[in-house]
A and B are shown apart, each in its own frame.
Chain A
Amino acid sequence: MSNDDDILVSVQHLQQYFPAGHNRYVQAVDDVSFVIRKGETFGLVGESGCGKTTTGRTLLRLYEPTDGRIIYDHKVLFDSGKVPLEQEDGTPILDESGNPKMGKKTKVDMLPYRRKMQIVFQDPYASLDPRMTVGDIVGEAIDIHHLAKTRQERYDMVVTALRHVGLNSEHANRYPHEFSGGQRQRVGIARALAVNPEFIVCDEPISALDVSIQAQIVNMFENLQQQLGLTYLFIAHDLSVVKHISNRIAVMYLGKIVEMADSNELIFHCVHPYTRSLISAIPIADPKTARASKRIVLQGDVPSPLNPPSGCRFRTRCPFADEQCAKSVPAWKEVSPGHFAACHHLDRVK
């Protein structure tokens, strides 16, 4: 394919089942595939428990996937050996007899890749060690990867990382408790930046912050992306923030991606009933529009991922569900170029 070169991360048929005892499994992530291109921000939205955080962590192999393949910069980081080989745009590669070729079972040592792939966690109050100074928190990764030869060099790298996030050298000697939530999140971001990564998983980085601080951090992510040429996987439950920052968005429900498209396309021309109700559920900060618009209120709660519904997982809350939805898992269809959705009733939503 012509534009394969700019693909940085490719996740194919990723599966993450957590054992829950009694031979049962929490099906946190099931058959999730997407690609992230160099320099773009890929948004992942969904409600709590839909598997978006697990996807992000599994992609970094903080959890070992139970199945699937992860490719970073054209190098296979993980392959269970049980999923067919695909070209990077998703078409399967066939062998001479026409059967899909399976990948080779692979598990590479992640240490060299950890330098390139970093993560910013959700809760800045829980993700910083209270007994370490900010300088040591940011410098820890530099030590692990032996990036600095002298103390001075290490100090300079720490200060550079802190400057990137709007802090300065005097903050390096302080402890996390001396900072406000927004500043702590800046420290968390500086820690990720310290090793000059190419790719950062942002796992709900702003949801624990005050409204007036959220915009500061969102803008900082955008500026850093421009300055340092970063690629983001931006995970959040707040669709308006994800829409603002992302080039493309995938919507997850109960471990599966239900719809994926360019961000404007997804917001204004969504085709999946779940995406549509998710968008309509967001309170609009404009009284006149809010009064005029009618909300589609979904009934019921998200089913347990221990025992997800058969067929389409959304069918228990979907207004269009029928027998077909219970019988078969909806296929992944391309609705318009670059816009994918998995639903049996795409025509009815419009």
Chain B
Amino acid sequence: MTEQMNHEKYLVSIEHERLSFFTPVGEVKALNDVSLHVSPGEILGIVGESGSGKSVTSYSLMGLTAYPGRIIGGDLWFNGHHINDMTEKQFQKMRGSEIAIIFQDPMTSLNPVYTIGNQIREVIMLHTNKNKQEANERAKELLTLVGINEPDKRLKQYPYELSGGMRQRVMIAIALACEPKLLIADEPTTALDVTIQAQILELMMELKKKLGMAIIMITHDLGIVASMCDRIAVMYAGHIVESGTTDEIFYQPKHEYTKGLLRSIPRLDSESHTKLVPIEGQPVDLLNPPKGCPFAPRCRACMKVCLREMPPVTTFSDTHYTQCWLNQKNEAEGAAQGGDAK
């Protein structure tokens, strides 16, 4: 990985970020040396199970790290801002205008006591010098953009009057109000039904084409990243264990966790009944993470060194890298035989 002045080349560049939550029972190391970058107009998928740090990573980019949490190392750059030394005031200016977020649960992320119109206008009036009437016009435009009929009527309605899919469309409208450069979608469809999920994903792809923003798609659904994302980062216990283009991750997975995930999902298109191959064991307890590679206790190919030390990064191509001792070993053996390092 070349890390020199990445922040000038990329829209988002996170380098060696460490973030911990200092709770009464001890330090929870949510992020351990996370590095990633997003180019303008690109869709990056972050995949991982609950507690792997996928949301925390993107929230820290917006200065939304919740209270006992603190960034304790690394550099975060977004669109020329050095996130580490930004003040709350600067964050407020940036949020909503340059960077926006869609949360998982549209039922709870809209304010129930304000109308839809009120909530969309709020963003517009905060970041532009439009007056209420102009903001209202823009709000109507936005609702049409996200495929909501009768925008005039909807603007006067409260969130409880809309269905889940509609609410998520409103969330997207709010997020897009100021045409941000980066949209963070934090499990935007987990709370929705599959047919509604298909509508929302379709809408996001369409809007991305129209507006050209970059998207960070946080999800645990490999199906969603397969169809949407350009690149994927797989997270486990606060580490990016593997990162690569969508094809690299799906067709040449290198990390045992990625391989395990791909093996463990049932396939709709297979006619014969093959048993699923689960990843055994339980998720990591972040309060007492295992020494060495966090995945080692659940890994099928665990070696002694895995339990002792965190593996270094092995690079396969410009885009594809993983943190796994097994790949180090293969590489070393390959080199010893004078063969190709792959």
Contacts and interface: CB of A to CB of B under 8 A. Distances in A.
B125 interface: no
Interface string B181-194: 00000000000011
A62 interface: no
A290 B223 contact: yes
B198 A298 contact: yes
Interface string B269-291: 10101011111101100000000
A268 B270 CA distance: 10
Contacts of A281: 194-195, 197-198
Given A212-B261, A295-B202, A301-B165, A180 B282 contact: yes
A289 B279 CA distance: 25
A335 B266 CA distance: 27
Interface bin, chain A: 35 or more
A215 B224 contact: no
Contacts of A228: none
A210 B50 contact: yes
A244 B222 contact: no
A240 B268 contact: yes
Contacts of A183: 282
Interface residues of B, number: 44
A80 interface: no
Interface in B242-274: 246-247, 250-251, 260-262, 264-269, 271, 273
Interface string B18-46: 00000000000000000000000000000
Nearest to A242: B266
Interface in A272-311: 277-291, 295, 297-299, 301-302
A212 B195 contact: no
A216 B263 CA distance: 12
Given A240-B268, A298-B198, A285 B226 contact: yes
Contacts of A264: 271
Contact of A216 (B251, B266, B280): B280
B49 interface: yes
B278 A212 contact: yes
Interface string B221-249: 11110110000000000000000001100
Interface of B: 49-50, 163, 165-166, 193-199, 201-202, 220-224, 226-227, 246-247, 250-251, 260-262, 264-269, 271, 273, 275-280, 282-283
